[in-house]
Structure 1
Amino acid sequence: MTSGRPVLITGLGVRSAFGSRGTALAEAVEAGRPAFAEVTRFPVAGRRTTVAATAPDAPRLADRLAEVVAETGAPADAPLLLALHADRRTGPLAAEVAARTGRATRVYTGACVAASTAVADAAALIAGGRIDSAVVAAGYLVEPDTFAVFDAGRALATDGALRPFSRGRRGMLLGDAVVAVLLEARPARPPLARLAGWGRSGDAYHVCRPRPDGAGLARAVRTALDRAGAAASEVGWVNANGAGSELGDRAEAAALGTVFGPSGPPVSSTKSVHGHALEASALLELAVTVGVLQRGRLPVNAGWLGPDPDCPLDLVLDAPRPHRARYALSVNAAFGGANTALLVAAA
């Protein structure tokens, strides 16, 4: 099953702990050089964890979102699909961004797959001929409320490192991400990459624990491959969800094993460098995946201490690997059993 009209990625705007230069983010991800440092944006005294991947300034999220949307160079009539963290500030923030960008706006708040769900919706509309272009944007800046919640829930790593799929991992760490991606069917400029396929699923196994066999995530990946008409053997790299949790990493490894078998593609989780940006993570990871295809070097899975026998993956360790992959896969999972997979092809 192919997706209809092509869905091309033609514009990007990115802000992260590495600033506004895409090359700085790409180089750090490639080398496995994390941005985690002591939080200075708000008080963290008394917290179990005191580090995150934050930009050195204290920006307004609405300002950053307006900036990255403008940087995509999107046509004035392209709608905006906007992924945000859900709290009392969501409505006013979305209204301000819509007014400042002058775009019809739909808001997504579906936890850690909010942005990838928005990408899938935009791609389906473009592939089906209902629209010619769309901007997907997402933003999360590390702030005291969510930091306190995840710290109190013992979800944050107390050793200052996010160690996906590694022995001795202790959890995730938060990070800044404000990203916009322009998707088009008929671009006026050369594309950066092509969104070849997308898939999503819900397994509703538990409110916060993943299904141990990863069946839902495996189904999302297979849907993305089927939509692209691609074989699993054509995937040259997986940008994993890999948030550093014991149960989540093992379930994801099981899902990848189900789809790709024991000799699957190389795997990294770039969260190990830029942190987990909640609703914005999937869009930052999509942007990173596009960069990896362009640069032809697979990034290091940082924070590695040693193998976990329950995560038998071909992890990229020690140094980047030169590689020219036809496809790269970016996968995400969220509380409640929501899963997404985005299959990206080199331009």
Structure 2
Amino acid sequence: MTEPPHRAAITGLAAVSALGRGAQAQLAGALAGAAAFGPVRRFDTGGRRVADAATLADAGTLADELTGVIEEACAGLSTAERAETPLLLGVHGHPDAGRSTTATTAGFARDLAARTGLAGVARIYTCACVSGSTAVADAAAEIRDGRSGRVVVAAGYLVEPDQFALFDAGRALANDGAARPFSSCRSGLLLGDAVSAVVLEPFGARETLAEVAGWGRAGDAHHVVRPDPEGAGMVRAVEAALRRGGIGPADVGYVNANASGADGDSAEAAALRRVFGAAQPPVSSTKSVHGHGLEGSGLLELVITVLAAQAGKVPVNVGHLGPDPACDLDLVLDGPRNAASPYALTVNAAFGGANTALLVRSV
């Protein structure tokens, strides 16, 4: 396999969720299996079927929280370095777009770049639950091909009434106060705050936290909201990530799954069984502790996956009530395990059949 011109490294990261502020709070919560779900206090849930989510009590506005994580992730960059670094941003849209005729997502993104001293916004990703992971794949490709010397990727979602109402009306939310990925008797997902940022640079530019060794993206175009039952798109995304990383299925030490506790978990399990066969790695979904952060999910899960790989640990899959024969995987249930490999995979899926896979290697 030909060595790429540049290897893509993560040199800075930061995150905020209901697990707390700072990247280490995310890792601690994921390893402890400390689910952060509880009644929503941020807005009125009266009349809703479900009233629970994973929200941070002292969360500010989305603009303020994104500014904070970008500033933290970029702490090692000089003012001049920031001024030449573009931003890739994953968001649902401008938080006030439904309440103002002048609020635009592009304007929100430009203001965010100006607040943090970055060169500007190269792209905005509004592709639902694969927004953050798609942005990382694009950034890694630019670094590897020598088209960019540094990229900041940020993504964020704070639980708010509009999306909460839509998911509740669609009966997609768990009615028992817990997200139970891959479990029997799972009843749906729960939303959660997820705001994160990472800095990608060529390997060796400065101290490296992890390498983005591979990535893959694929669509299955099976249904508007349901994945292909056999996980065809997820299979192609994972295989592409492994191929770019130059490794085989047996080299992967952990998979942070997309699973949210919904019906689609079985399709993802089918995909993972198909890719890994007898070499099944340990699997968990950290959505079981921090909830589903929509556009912010992929990046938050990447941050946790990187930190877990650094620590040589595999996070717990919380909320499990019993095995589902359709989700026959090596689930991490009784406590964190020691990782058997420096390689870890985080996968995401979104409405419309979009699938992403990011392969990281601890260094």
State whether TM-score is above 0.5. yes
Alignment match, 1:317: 333
Alignment of 1:322-333 (within 5 A): 322-333=338-349
Alignment match, 2:100: none
Alignment of 1:130-209 (within 5 A): 130-209=147-226
The answer to whether the 8 A contact 2:219-2:353 is kept is: yes
The answer to whether the 8 A contact 1:3-1:228 is kept is: no
Task: Give the AA of the match of 2:322.
Answer: G
SS at match of 2:224: coil
The answer to whether the 8 A contact 2:14-2:22 is kept is: no
Q: In structure 1, what is the Cα distance between the partners aligned to 2:114 and 2:297?
A: 24
Q: In structure 1, what is the Cα distance between the partners aligned to 2:312 and 2:59?
A: 33
2:90 is the alignment partner of 1:83: yes
Stretches of 4+ aligned residues off by more than 3 angstroms: 1-4
For residue 101 of structure 1, the aligned residue among 98, 116, 120 is 116
Q: In structure 2, what is the Cα distance between the partners aligned to 1:288 and 1:157?
A: 23
SS at match of 1:310: helix
Which ranges in structure 2 are unaligned for 5 or more consecutive residues?
A: 98-102
For residue 268 of structure 1, the aligned residue among 280, 284, 288 is 284
Q: In structure 2, what is the Cα distance between the partners aligned to 1:129 and 1:312?
A: 41
Which ranges in structure 1 are unaligned for 5 or more consecutive residues?
A: none
Alignment match, 1:290: 306
Q: CA deviation at 1:32?
A: 1.1
Alignment match, 1:27: 28
The answer to whether the 8 A contact 1:15-1:179 is kept is: yes
Alignment match, 1:335: 351
CA-to-aligned-CA distance 1:79-112 (integer Å, 9 cap, x gap): 1000001363533422321221233202110010
- Give the structure-1-normalised TM-score: 0.97
Alignment match, 2:266: 250
Alignment match, 1:18: 19
Q: CA deviation at 1:58?
A: 3.9
- Give the structure-2-normalised TM-score: 0.92
CA-to-aligned-CA distance 1:200-259 (integer Å, 9 cap, x gap): 00111111110001011000000001011111110010000011112x101000100110
Task: Give the AA of the match of 1:344.
Answer: V
The answer to whether the 8 A contact 2:249-2:279 is kept is: no
Q: In structure 1, what is the Cα distance between the partners aligned to 2:15 and 2:40?
A: 21
The 3 A distance-change label for structure 1 pair 287 and 58 is closer
Q: CA deviation at 1:187?
A: 4.7
Q: In structure 2, what is the Cα distance between the partners aligned to 1:301 and 1:112?
A: 20
SS at match of 1:304: coil
2:218 is the alignment partner of 1:217: no
Q: In structure 2, what is the Cα distance between the partners aligned to 1:26 and 1:115?
A: 19
The answer to whether the 8 A contact 2:23-2:303 is kept is: no
Q: In structure 1, what is the Cα distance between the partners aligned to 2:313 and 2:307?
A: 9
SS at match of 1:97: helix
The answer to whether the 8 A contact 2:149-2:201 is kept is: yes
Alignment match, 1:61: 62
SS at match of 1:219: helix
Q: In structure 1, what is the Cα distance between the partners aligned to 2:349 and 2:291?
A: 15
Q: CA deviation at 1:166?
A: 0.2
RMSD over equivalenced CA pairs, Å:
1.3
Question: Number of residues paired by the alignment?
Answer: 346
Task: Give the AA of the match of 2:73.
Answer: T
Q: In structure 2, what is the Cα distance between the partners aligned to 1:271 and 1:281?
A: 8
